[in-house]
Amino acid sequence: MKRKEFIKNLAIGILTPTLFLAACSDDKKNSNVKPQTFTCPMHPQVVKNRMGTCPICGMDLVSFEKNSADAALHLNESQMALANVTTITVGLKGFNSYKQLNGRLVVNPEETAYISSRVSGRLDRLYVRQTGEKIIKGQPLYQIYSEQLASLQQEYLLSLTQVSQYPNDKTFKRLLKSSRQKLSLYGQAEAQIKALENSKKASPNITFMASENGTIAELSVTEGQYVTEGSPIMRLESYQSLWVEADIYPAEAGSIKEGQQVKVVIPGWEDQPQLVAVSFMNPALQANTQLRQLRGTMPNPNNQWQPGLQANVFVTTESKGDVISLPVDAVIRDGKGAHVWIESKKGEFKPQIVKTGIESFDSVEIKEGLKAGDQVVVSGAYLLYSEYILKKGKHPMTSAKL
């Protein structure tokens, strides 16, 4: 019995130091393990030591390296391609600030032709019957029965006969010239007068031709209708040039002068901006609005654009030379300020605090923070911003410098 007690005490004495050393070793290993830290992708101020959800937005927390001192973000080529990260080398150049105005394309009245009846009579035939038809100069438009024109034709044929019988009589020559001029004033073309001379036969059914090219915008008569002299027949519009009208507040009108160049961009044709000179500024306000209108004429040689299209009109408000400018999407702005991303070397991106100046609809002036030659991210900047928060667990502005 004493022997068993002795062996038990001896075993305890041998194993106790071993277990103590093992426990110390485990404690040492556990002390070297860094505690895992978690944050919210949308709210980096939320930091916890265990997995969970964000108390602000409810998103799942993600792990990050809390004590990372590296201010740069490293991406490989595949990650850059997936995020569509592109850069440009900035330099000094001229910069214009624009004000955008809402505009529209309208018909140019200077290229609108109103066709009316030259004589009284009955419209026996209309060669065009619907709006939207394109008309070519010299094309038949309508045929009218007119006894008045028939009488003028008879008068002209009589004068021709008198001149042929008495070629040296100046009175007959004057009468021939006068009767020919009457036919011309009543809308008879030279070819029609020549045909009358050859046929020697008057006809009360006279065809009238188009005097210019255009598109039928309005038909005011129907076939078989009786018309009087001066009655409207149709309206022709040409779209070889259009008016650009834009709305502007009276307080802003003082910054725009007649003759000033503005840039006109038609949605859908952003790659074809047009420079248009302001030709007129309406001194009166539009009805039921507090807006004035400015106007300019824009060429449209191929009828590429149609009246009624929306137009964005950009007016230069300020101009500077030799400044650094970036696309608007390259600058990240929030409550902490503005910053951009610089590629310091291949695949390494660092945030850089900047101060901005004047802006246009697509560009912004950088007053401080960049120098000529810097490689700046112009697309994918927001993805870099999000990736930085996910990996570093802090806002890029805390690491950036001005």
The residue type of 351 is P
Burial class of residue 290, CB neighbours in 10 A (0-12, 13-18, 19+): exposed
CATH number for the domain running over 114-236: 2.40.50.100
Q: Rounded mean pLDDT of 211-225?
A: 90
| Mean pLDDT, residues 67-72 taken together | 65
Question: What's residue 72's pLDDT?
Answer: 80
User: Above 50 in pLDDT, residue 262?
Assistant: yes
Burial label for 220, CB within 10 Å (0-12, 13-18, 19+), is middle
- For residue 261, the 8-state DSSP code is E
Is the pLDDT confidence value at 24 over 60? Answer: no
Question: In sequence order, what are the residues at sequence separation of 6 or more whose Cβ sits closer than 8 angstroms to the Cβ of residue 367?
Answer: 323, 354, 355, 356, 357
Q: What integer pLDDT is reported at residue 30 of this predicted model? A: 47
* Under 8 Å between Cβ of 134 and 253: no
Q: Of 257, 267, 262, which Cα lies nearest the Cα of 297?
A: 262
CB contact at 8 A, 375 and 381: no
pLDDT at 400: 62
φ, ψ dihedrals at 387, nearest 5°: -65, -35
- Between strands 261-265 and 355-359, the pairing is unpaired
Cα–Cα distances (Å) from 324 to 38, 111, 166, 356, in that order, read 39, 45, 87, 10
Q: What is the pLDDT of residue 187?
A: 80
Please give the residue that has the higher pLDDT: either 31 or 160: 160
30-39, 119-128, 248-257, 289-298: the lowest-pLDDT one:
30-39
pLDDT value at 278 more than 90: yes
At the topology level, CATH places domain 70-97+320-398 in 2.40.420
Residue 62 has pLDDT above 70, yes or no: yes
156-194 pLDDT, tens digit per residue, is 888 888 888 888 888 888 888 888 888 888 888 888 888
Give the domain ranges of the chain. 1-33, 36-67, 70-97+320-398, 98-109+239-317, 114-236
Looking at the DSSP bridge assignments, the partners of residue 310 are 104
pLDDT surpasses 50 at 35: yes
Question: What average pLDDT score do residues 14-33 get?
Answer: 50
CB within 8 A of 234, min separation 6: which ones?
A: 115, 128, 141, 216, 218, 219, 220, 221
pLDDT at residue 21 above 50?
no
CATH class of 98-109+239-317: mainly beta
pLDDT recorded at residue 251: 84
pLDDT in tens, 335-359: 788 999 999 888 889 899 999 988 8
What amino acid occupies position 141? L
